[in-house]
Chains A and B, each alone.
Chain A
Amino acid sequence: MSPNYILKRVMMIVYTLFIVSLIVFAITQVLPGDAAVIMLGENATKEALDALRQSMGLNAPVWVQYGRWLGGVLHGDFGTSLRTGQAVGPVMLEALSRSLLLAVLSIALMLILAIPLGIIAAVRRGRIADMVVSLISYAGISLPEFVTATVAVLIVGDWLKWLPPTGYVPLTENFLGGIQHLILPVCVISIILIAHVSRMVRSELVDVLHTDYVRAARIKGLSGMTVLFRHALRNALLPTITVVALDVGYLLGGVIVVEEIFAIPGIGRALIVAIQTRDLPSIQAGVLIMAATYSIVNFVADILYAWLDKRIQYD
């Protein structure tokens, strides 16, 4: 892996964020009702609106406004919220940290469950275990998060009363209570990931188990377990890294719905509130932060992949 490749990948992230900034700025520009109307309300006088527009720089040409906004973003200043008057950047990053906790726990749960499920399905291909796993994964990819979340709240929260149905408690404040509030959301988010990744692991492992080097290892007289864990699995799990990284896109989408239902003050919920109240700076910052998260995760995955798989030569 050459420094050249890393540089090229970093340039791609920069280009991605540039395009996303253009898209999000364009969308927030075209949204009906400008910032002045949102701040002063529909009944404000024309003079007051004009004065505010002048002071906010809304009368400048669009590309000048974009330049000012982008300049601010590059200095870490995402502007101030039209709704609360607070600086958007710190608020959004704090919300992101809560969402990332949710995301990391979900990915951890997914890895613990999906890889063994995929291995069992591949090794017992065509048997009952395989059918059960593929049934679970079909169900998993066909249930939208809002359905699983709502049903989970009804059954575990309301009927069984095992866990608090919704709400959020910071882990630093009350660790046990915080974990209790996180269990349901994490389970809901990881369902689709488990379904997706276990199918992936299964199909990769089935392919690898049919390769010549695995057959050679068997003929050499190695035990089934050694062949599986020392030879086959290493290669079968590599593509999983890429799939998990690409799934971060779904994950971030799922986080939006799950945070809304479980009332978790993460970036997804912040974005929904921002969209509903037309809080333009918050929308812009939230979308940019989400796109950046996705790009960085995929960058790390590509580097990790290249580092683990010595066969791949990047230039």
Chain B
Amino acid sequence: MIEFLKRLLRTPQGAIGLLIVLLALVIVLFGPSLAPHDPESLAPLARYKPSSLNYLMGTDQYGRDILSRLLIGGRATISMAVLATVAGTLVGALIGTTSAFLGGRSDEVIMRTVDSVMSIPSLLFALLVVNLLGSSTANALIAVAVAFAPSMARVTRSVALSVRKQDYISAAIARGERSSYIILREMLPNVVAPIIVEMTIRISFAVMLFATLSFLGLGAQPPAAEWGLMVSEARQYMHLSAGILIWPSLAIAIVAVGFNLLGDGLRDALNPRT
């Protein structure tokens, strides 16, 4: 574990990515207690304030403290993105492993169907699912998970197939190991690593997809402090104060970059050839 962390921190991607993701974790866990102001208290006299010692990032169109809203909204945006990606990965991994395990004609049919679903853009698919279930944060979570499952199935299947062909699996079969031992002790650990890498990178897509859904009015609803919703609300007032728009945009971009960097860092650290 320590050895692995060292490998991860050796690349700049891994080090910066881990730092940003840890920061995001702090916001998710302690964001609400770190917030200097009440994120929903309106202050008509303190609208559109620029950055100051009292309001580090200024205030928005209702005089609410932008920093406090970001700290509280982070919990919704980040934890939902992680949850949705994990759920989508689990479903996808199940489909992908089953397909690789069954092989032959069933594999062909399952994968062709997965490909067919992938021909609908994820955002459009998520829009349809949210519309079907109604706009809310929980439904947006299901929508993103459903939209991610097909591509994760594809990744899992290709990884499982390539692992299946490795010499150490043949060796285990030759040694006369039980199938359950081979699948659990030999295959699974080698399948999990690439999936975790893919999942980490996908979390950054999920952050963006969630924010986009809220932006289009189909995710979190006002007065929630969700980051995508903050950008959406800022559009009307951005001529009056650019900060309302810039800070939540930056927050989304930084978290997305963080998970991307961490994913690339993990890939390098897990790759024995580097």
Contact = CB atoms under 8 A, between A and B. Distances in A.
Interface stretch (A77-85, A146-154, A307-315): A146-154
Contacts of B211: 144, 146-147
B256 interface: yes
A138 interface: yes
B127 to A, nearest CB: 6
Interface stretch (B23-31, B94-102, B118-126): B118-126
Chain A interface size, under 10 / 10 to 19 / 20 to 34 / 35 or more: 35 or more
Nearest to B248: A147
Interface residues of B, number: 42
B127 A275 contact: yes
Given A142-B204, A142-B257, A272-B216, A147 B119 contact: no
Contacts of A257: 123, 212, 215-216
A253 interface: yes
A254 B205 CA distance: 13
A165 to B, nearest CB: 10
A139 B127 contact: no
B51 interface: no
Interface stretch (B36-44, B59-67, B165-173, B231-239): B231-239
A282 to B, nearest CB: 13
Contact of B121 (A19, A252, A278): A252
Nearest to B122: A253
A150 B246 CA distance: 10
A52 interface: no
A200 to B, nearest CB: 14
Nearest to A298: B119
Given A27-B128, A151-B245, A146 B120 contact: no
Chain B contact surface mostly: helix
A142 B113 CA distance: 29
Contact of B116 (A19, A250, A278): A19
B132 A253 contact: no
B131 interface: yes
A150 B254 CA distance: 17
B115 interface: yes
A178 interface: no
Contacts of A271: 124, 127
Chain A contact surface mostly: helix
Interface in B12-69: none
A250 B205 CA distance: 11
Contacts of A141: 204, 256, 260
B93 interface: no
A102 B12 CA distance: 37
Interface of B: 112-113, 115-124, 127-129, 131-132, 204, 208-209, 211-212, 215-216, 228, 231-232, 234-235, 238-239, 242, 245-246, 249, 252-254, 256-257, 260-261
27 contacts: A17-B116, A18-B116, A20-B117, A24-B128, A27-B128, A139-B253, A141-B256, A142-B204, A142-B254, A142-B257, A143-B249, A143-B256, A144-B208, A144-B211, A144-B212, A145-B212, A147-B231, A252-B121, A257-B123, A278-B131, A283-B128, A287-B120, A287-B124, A287-B128, A290-B119, A290-B121, A290-B124
Interface of A: 12, 15-20, 23-24, 27, 30-31, 138-139, 141-147, 150-151, 154, 158, 249-250, 252-254, 256-257, 260, 271-272, 275, 278, 283, 287, 290-291, 294-295, 298
